Structure 1
Amino acid sequence: MIDIKNVNKFYGQGESSFHVLHDINLSIAEGEFVSIMGQSGSGKSTLINIIGFLDDEFEGKYFYYKHPIHEYTRAQFSKLRNQNVGFVFQNFKLINTLSVGDNVGLPLLYAGEKRQAIKSRVREVLAAVGLSNAGEKKPKNLSGGQQQRVSIARAIVTNPKFLIADEPTGALDSQTSREIMTLFKELNQKNKTTIIMVTHDEKVALQSERIVHILDGRILSDEKVGV
């Protein structure tokens, strides 16, 4: 599904440029649940920005379903991102002036879907994340765990090919973190959703199938969990 070959990333230009990623080689199969671990500044966020089609300025090759993404234009990257990736963030990034249902339905609205179809799909995904009765509520009236469930519902509402979760449990207590990880595992195992998760918490990472450790922009190890 995802095949990255000898990817390098620089910030800045000339003598002031900073080499962030060094010869990254990474393959992720459809249906995998992969954790990317690393310290702050290790390059993991830069890597997922490239994987998630947010950053098209890199050296090297990126094949997505064998298509040479590294040759795409910025407009093609944007289209690819909108049609293929769902994002879940640490701080939820919900719009507090909108209802939960409207937050979840936004990606479909941007895609030009009809309102009735949007309402039906929103009900479906809210039920899938255990929030059937929350559609009319405002995000500020929900707990942190419930808000993260809303952000997951928003991420999966378009049936993306893969999810990128950036520290999805970072702002949550341990019990709520366990609940969110259970939800991710259900999405992965039942729906076969490919999940790429960035975390600094080893306990969280160990609940995925595979852990990629990154340090100073280099992959240190890439191992199956429990092997």
Structure 2
Amino acid sequence: MIKLEKINKSYQQGTNSVHILHDIDLEIQEGELVAIVGESGSGKSTLINIIGFLDQEFSGNYYFQGQALHDFSRKQFSALRNRNVGFVFQNFKLIQGINVQENVALPLLYAGMRRAAVKERVSHVLTQVGLAGYEESFAKNMSGGQQQRISIARAIATNPHFLIADEPTGALDTETSQEIMNLFKELNANGTTIIMVTHDPKVAAQCQRTIRILDGRIVADSQEGTI
């Protein structure tokens, strides 16, 4: 589904050019649950920004479902992102002043879905993440684990081709982290492709595949979460 060839990324810092990613070659198949691990500053966030169509300023070749993307415009990348990717973040990024139903509905409304269909879809994904009946609740009154479930429901609401989860358990205690991982594994078992950035070896070990980034290079790529 995703194929990167010789991806390089640099940026200017004053008069110096800082090289962040070095000749990244990577393929991710549909249906995989992949962990990307690495120390802070290793380049993993830059890599997922490119994979998730958030950053198109790179050299090299990017193919998505066989289509070459490396010459796409900013507008084309934005359209790709809106249609194909769901994002889950460590700090949830929910709007505290609106209720659960309204938070989950946002990407559907942006996509132009009719309100009656939106309500039905929101109810369905909240049931998927174990929050049926919480539509009128407010995120600020809910636990961290529940807020992450809302975030996941919002991410899957548009039926994206893949999810990018950036440290999704980073703000949660051990028990709640495992509950969220169980939810991700259930979604994956039902066909959702998931690319997860994590510092937690226990989280990475539960993924089918672990990719380790060091100094902007892929230094290991192994199956069943072990390196």
- Normalising by the residue count of structure 1, what TM-score does the alignment of the two structures yield? 0.98
SS of structure 2 residue aligned to 1:70: coil
- CA distance in 1 between counterparts of 2:43 and 2:72 reads 23
- CA distance in 1 between counterparts of 2:179 and 2:225 reads 21
Match of 1:138 in 2: 138
- CA distance in 2 between counterparts of 1:211 and 1:202 reads 10
What is the 5 A alignment of 1:175-186? 175-186=175-186
Letter in 2 for 1:107: P
| 1:89 counterpart = 2:89 | yes
Match of 2:124 in 1: 124
Match of 2:153 in 1: 153
Could you list the runs of 5+ residues in structure 2 that have no partner in the other structure?
A: none
Residue 189 of structure 1: how far off its partner (Å): 0.4
SS of structure 2 residue aligned to 1:17: strand
Percent identity of the aligned residues?
64
Residue 226 of structure 1: how far off its partner (Å): 6.2
Residue 225 of structure 1: how far off its partner (Å): 1.3
Q: 1:28-54 CA distances to partner (integer Å, 9 max, x unpaired)? A: 000000000000000000000000000
Letter in 2 for 1:29: Q
Letter in 1 for 2:216: G
Match of 1:3 in 2: 3
| 1:77 counterpart = 2:77 | yes
Residue 77 of structure 1: how far off its partner (Å): 0.2
What is the 5 A alignment of 1:4-23? 4-12=4-12, 15-23=15-23
Match of 2:27 in 1: 27
Letter in 2 for 1:142: M
Q: 1:163-192 CA distances to partner (integer Å, 9 max, x unpaired)? A: 0000000000000000000000000002x1
| 1:115 counterpart = 2:145 | no
- CA distance in 1 between counterparts of 2:13 and 2:57 reads 13
- CA distance in 2 between counterparts of 1:44 and 1:11 reads 15
Contact 2:210–2:225, Cα closer than 8 Å, also in 1? no
SS of structure 1 residue aligned to 2:46: helix
Query: What is the CA RMSD across the aligned residues, in angstroms?
Result: 1.1
| 1:39 counterpart = 2:39 | yes
SS of structure 2 residue aligned to 1:71: coil
Match of 1:214 in 2: 213
- CA distance in 2 between counterparts of 1:80 and 1:174 reads 35
- CA distance in 1 between counterparts of 2:86 and 2:161 reads 8
SS of structure 2 residue aligned to 1:34: strand
SS of structure 1 residue aligned to 2:70: helix
Q: 1:42-89 CA distances to partner (integer Å, 9 max, x unpaired)? A: 000000000000000000000001101101111000000000000000
- CA distance in 1 between counterparts of 2:139 and 2:61 reads 40
Residue 15 of structure 1: how far off its partner (Å): 4.1
Letter in 2 for 1:41: G
- CA distance in 2 between counterparts of 1:9 and 1:91 reads 26
Match of 1:167 in 2: 167
| 1:196 counterpart = 2:171 | no
SS of structure 1 residue aligned to 2:172: coil
SS of structure 1 residue aligned to 2:116: helix
Match of 1:56 in 2: 56
